[in-house]
Structure 1
Amino acid sequence: MKPLLFSLLESSIFSFQKLSTTHCCTIKCGYMADVYVSNRILDSYTKLGFLSHAHKLFDEMPERDSVSWNTMISGYTSCVRLESAWRLFTSMRRSGCKGDGYSLSRLLKGVAFAKRLDLGQQLHSLVLKGSYECNLYVGSSLVDMYAKCERVEDAFEAFQEISEPNSVSWNALIAGFVRLRDIKTAFWLLGSMEMEGTVRLDDGTFAPLLTLLDDPMFYSLSGQAHAKVLKLGLEQEITVRNALITSYADCGSVSDAKRVFDGLRGSKDLVTWNSMIAGFSKHEQKESAFELFIKMQRTWIETDVYTYTSILSACSGEEHEIFGKSLHGLVLKKGLEQITSVSNALISMYIQFPTGAIKDALSLFESLESKDLVSWNSILTGLSQKGPSEDAVKFFRCLRSSDIEVDDYAFSAVLRSCSDLATLQLGQQIHALATKSSFETNEFVTSSLILMYSKCGVIENARKCFEQISSKHSTVAWNTMILGYAQHGSGQVSLDLFSQMCSQNVKLDHVTFTAILTACSHTGLVQEGLDLLNSMEPVYKIRPRVEHYAAVVDLLGRAGLVNKAKELIESMPLGPDPMVLKTFLGACRACGEIEMATQVANYLLEIEPEDHFTYVLLSHMYSDLKKWEEKANVKKMMKERGVKKVPGWSWIEVGNEVYAFNAEDRSHTLCQEIYLMIEDLTQEMQWFDSDNEFDDQASLLGLNPY
């Protein structure tokens, strides 16, 4: 009968119904008193995850041995129920059954997962007391526990106690140093492991190491690691392949990542697809990311949260709006809308769509039940970029009143809103809060402080913030300071700062050149600006973008060199861009080049018939030249096409409150008093102008009115 029961147990381990039937047969036949039989049933229950049934059986067992206790302890640790496992271990020791190497190693695994260093140290003392430190499995578990608790020195000591460490021991130690991003030691251990010669390097060795290679500076090292993987015949190990895809993508070589991805013909798992989609998204290869996502859908691989956060991050700009909304529909269909990370990705996506989509982002934010700091920062960033900026200030106040701690991104976003509002008093208060929270020297917060003080007209305070920055090689802070001086008409100071950036080896980027070319434009430094544009690619290895050409067109337009600006546009390798053409249109208007302006405006009206900018600028130009009929035609065209001028908004800070209004706005509660005051001020200005006119006429006649 016993062999039949064992056969039933072997077949029933994957079926709870069969196991229950076998358990009943065992009781009926009177075999439950046999410890071996009971342990087999107990083990089957724990492997299926039915711990309540297992524990009930365990309690009913008339006799238990160390296997019974270890089976239950292992079951609880496997299901991440450390407290239950710990209570059992304590009961086991009190019952007189001392823990052995197996029970200690299983408990150490549970402690490692929970990162309970205090419990791990207690177990270590029991390991020493029982002389188990040389035991391979206990020793490896100790190494793993200390490594996961980020105590790598203790992990190394435990490792040295193992007489003959295996690959599990080595991999646990290497993973500990990987967790601390100690690249030098991790790869030194890899070399030592290889030199040892007795242990084979496997997928558990390389997969963690490859996660460290996540910067373009490590591209060569990634290639070497890949070569070693091929040499050892590990190229078909899925975990290694997935790690290689991520590593190559993070190092900037999406083509190598794609080559590895394509090499996995029939063995791609969910992580493989997610890694490749994330690689495409990170490197702005959005169309490739979309194609791969659609292909993934056709392979019937079940998508997860990470799939959607990766693909949603690729959706930005008006051209991706339809695809992004379709993805939102899929998220709703799968019931993932309340997953915080997915909703955060959706909020960020809607923020990057045209201005009207900010309402959708706000709606998502409000409906999200579990908001984290990323949720708040995403909506704050959106409001600071697309406004209304006063709402960003209100949200910042709400964030501060919540239980979530404010970080540097939140401070940076609200300070940018203060910059747009030019609210010096509010900006100073937030500066004080940032100082109190120890974020004053953070490069992003400092850059936002520089911008805020610059836009509020206090360039001296902006410079003080710049001087106090902790990282003197922060490109963002240098760019902001250069732009600040540019907006204040101090182009020469901006050029001096640019020279200092070069001499101090601060990394230059495309924003640096946008800032310095703006400085040249606002100060009339024509030759300097042209020289900088021409030297960008050959000297600084930065290819000029549309915004750089627009800045130089503005520079030439301000200097009255409209024909040179036209020549520059015609020589652009990028082709005529609306941003550059609008800048050129403004230059034509300023210089009174009516024919050239009309040609440019007509072209812009063809490619962007819905944009109000060209209509308004053309209308103003006709007004300047008193061409009323042409102006009336422009207004008629706007009406026929349904184009409306977007009203400009103004802000004013009174009594620590920010008020927003536009032309002829009557929404304020004190609007009657405000308009009476405006009327009085207008009359005073008119009187002052007429008085000055009399003075000017009297001086021309040689009279002294006083």
Structure 2
Amino acid sequence: MADARQLFGQGPELDDIAWNMMLQEYTAYGDGRSVSQLFDVSPSRDVVSWNTVLHSMSRLVNLGKQEAVLVFWSMQDNGVNPDRVIGQYSVCTGTVGGSCTGKWIHAYIQRHGHRIEVDDNLCSALINMYSKCGCIEGAVYAVEEVSQKSSVDVCNAMLSGFMANRLSLRALQCFSRMESKGIVPNAITFSCVLNACSHGGLVDEGLKYFKSQGCMVDRLCHADLLQRAKDVICQMPMESDGAMWKAMLGTWRIHGNYELGVKAGVRLLKLDLDDNAGYALLLSI
């Protein structure tokens, strides 16, 4: 970076690409002070420049998130229109100023919907912002805006929001709606659901969803989606049972995956050393 900065300082006429490249590299190196100094003396700032400095401020501790919110306002004073990326970073830092700041940023995004598309990442950021501010209905409203194209990531963000506000029953209702829309859950989804059952004292519901997760592992194995099945098991909030590891072990035996099969076999035997089926499956590999 020292050599790059020296060469940068010797350039006769540097265009926006050169300035933005330096800003991005300082951000990648975690040098927030240099990002701020370089941005202050930049002769011209396009939307990429503002994106970079806002990203830097939102992730680097020595710059602070309060400054990131101020950048969102300042760029408009300079006649630069925020895009989706800037909106996402601004929403992520909107909790610094409380719910009023976050709502203002959300309202701005709505007014400029023709330019700022609310995709999965931006919607998830809105949900996270409202949830942290304790305004769960704002998070629900953000989901309804993209209800026709909501994905598993958006649903997971909403589930996490309900959990953060100790609304276990609403989290389970959210999961039911997710299933009715045909959205396929992943390991994060089941982790949120099972935690909701745990925190809400919903034992019977927790057992039902736990069995549902086991069925999902079996379906993924039969569909040859072995890595996804393994991720579901490994990210469960509690110890998986033998049936899940047997499903994985049997599938890996069929596909001749020795390394993963041995790992599954060892986990299975740790659960029950007297399980003859586990030995037989491991031997067959």
Give the aligned partner of residue 353 of structure 1: 133
CA change 1:229–1:322 in 2 (3 A) is same
Compute the displacement of 1:230 (Å).
2.6
Report Cα offsets for 1:515-564 as digits up to 9, x if no partner: xxxxxxxxxxxxxxxxxxxxxxxxxxxxxxxxxxxxxxxxxxxxxxxxxx
The one-letter code of the counterpart of 1:272 is S
The one-letter code of the counterpart of 1:245 is L
Unaligned runs of 5+ in 2: 221-225, 246-259, 261-285
CA change 1:333–1:440 in 2 (3 A) is same
Give the aligned partner of residue 429 of structure 1: 211
Report Cα offsets for 1:441-493 as digits up to 9, x if no partner: 43x8635423xx6xxxxxx96xx99xxxx9xxxxxxxxxxxxxxxxxxxxxxx
Alignment of structure 1 residues 241-320 onto 2, 5 Å:
241-264=19-42, 266-283=43-60, 285-316=64-95, 319-320=97-98
CA change 1:306–1:447 in 2 (3 A) is same
TM-score by length of 2: 0.68
Give the aligned partner of residue 388 of structure 1: 167
- Give % identity: 20
Give the aligned partner of residue 155 of structure 2: 376
Secondary structure in 2 aligned to 1:351?
Answer: helix
Quick one: which of 422, 446, 456 aligns to 2:234? 446
Q: Does the 8 A contact of 1:409 with 1:445 survive in 2?
A: no
- 1:237 paired to 2:19: no
CA change 1:251–1:335 in 2 (3 A) is same
The one-letter code of the counterpart of 2:58 is S
Q: Could you tell me how far apart the structure 2 residues matched to 1:227 and 1:445 are?
A: 48
CA change 1:287–1:231 in 2 (3 A) is closer
> Comparing both chains, which one has the higher relative contact order based on Cα–Cα distances under 8 Å and sequence gaps of 6 or more?
2
Unaligned runs of 5+ in 1: 1-222, 454-459, 471-706
Q: Does the 8 A contact of 1:321 with 1:353 survive in 2?
A: yes
Secondary structure in 1 aligned to 2:21?
Answer: helix
Alignment of structure 1 residues 473-492 onto 2, 5 Å:
none
The one-letter code of the counterpart of 2:217 is T
Q: Could you tell me how far apart the structure 2 residues matched to 1:308 and 1:363 are?
A: 17
CA change 1:415–1:224 in 2 (3 A) is farther
Alignment of structure 1 residues 141-180 onto 2, 5 Å:
none
Give the aligned partner of residue 587 of structure 1: none
The one-letter code of the counterpart of 1:345 is A
Q: Does the 8 A contact of 2:94 with 2:129 survive in 1?
A: yes
Q: Provide the aligned C-alpha RMSD in A.
A: 3.3
Report Cα offsets for 1:343-387 as digits up to 9, x if no partner: 333222111112xx1112112212324323332121121122223
Secondary structure in 1 aligned to 2:98?
Answer: helix
Report Cα offsets for 1:642-690 as digits up to 9, x if no partner: xxxxxxxxxxxxxxxxxxxxxxxxxxxxxxxxxxxxxxxxxxxxxxxxx
Compute the displacement of 1:324 (Å).
1.1
Alignment of structure 1 residues 384-533 onto 2, 5 Å:
384-422=163-201, 423=203, 424-433=206-215, 435-436=217-218, 437=220, 438=226, 439=228, 441-442=230-231, 446-450=234-238
Alignment of structure 1 residues 19-34 onto 2, 5 Å:
none
The one-letter code of the counterpart of 1:449 is P
Q: Could you tell me how far apart the structure 2 residues matched to 1:404 and 1:351 are?
A: 22
Q: Could you tell me how far apart the structure 2 residues matched to 1:364 and 1:252 are?
A: 32
Give the aligned partner of residue 214 of structure 1: none
Q: Does the 8 A contact of 1:234 with 1:240 survive in 2?
A: no
Q: Could you tell me how far apart the structure 2 residues matched to 1:245 and 1:430 are?
A: 48
The one-letter code of the counterpart of 1:367 is E
Q: Could you tell me how far apart the structure 2 residues matched to 1:387 and 1:279 are?
A: 32
Q: Could you tell me how far apart the structure 2 residues matched to 1:322 and 1:304 are?
A: 21
CA change 1:445–1:417 in 2 (3 A) is farther
Secondary structure in 2 aligned to 1:449?
Answer: coil
Q: Could you tell me how far apart the structure 1 residues matched to 2:155 and 2:52 are?
A: 27
Greater shift, 306-315 or 416-425, is seen at 416-425
Q: Does the 8 A contact of 2:84 with 2:117 survive in 1?
A: no
Q: Could you tell me how far apart the structure 2 residues matched to 1:440 and 1:280 are?
A: 37
Report Cα offsets for 1:74-124 as digits up to 9, x if no partner: xxxxxxxxxxxxxxxxxxxxxxxxxxxxxxxxxxxxxxxxxxxxxxxxxxx
CA change 1:367–1:230 in 2 (3 A) is closer
Q: Could you tell me how far apart the structure 2 residues matched to 1:251 and 1:400 are?
A: 42
Q: Considering only CA atoms, is the larger Rg found in Structure 1 or Structure 2?
A: 1
Alignment of structure 1 residues 655-674 onto 2, 5 Å:
none
Alignment of structure 1 residues 337-348 onto 2, 5 Å:
339-341=118-120, 342-348=122-128
CA change 1:331–1:231 in 2 (3 A) is closer
The one-letter code of the counterpart of 1:435 is V
Report Cα offsets for 1:309-351 as digits up to 9, x if no partner: 111111226x421111111221222236863344333222111
Q: Does the 8 A contact of 2:187 with 2:233 survive in 1?
A: yes
CA change 1:293–1:418 in 2 (3 A) is same
Report Cα offsets for 1:598-638 as digits up to 9, x if no partner: xxxxxxxxxxxxxxxxxxxxxxxxxxxxxxxxxxxxxxxxx
Quick one: which of 110, 129, 135 aligns to 1:332? 110
CA change 1:270–1:385 in 2 (3 A) is same
Give the aligned partner of residue 493 of structure 1: none
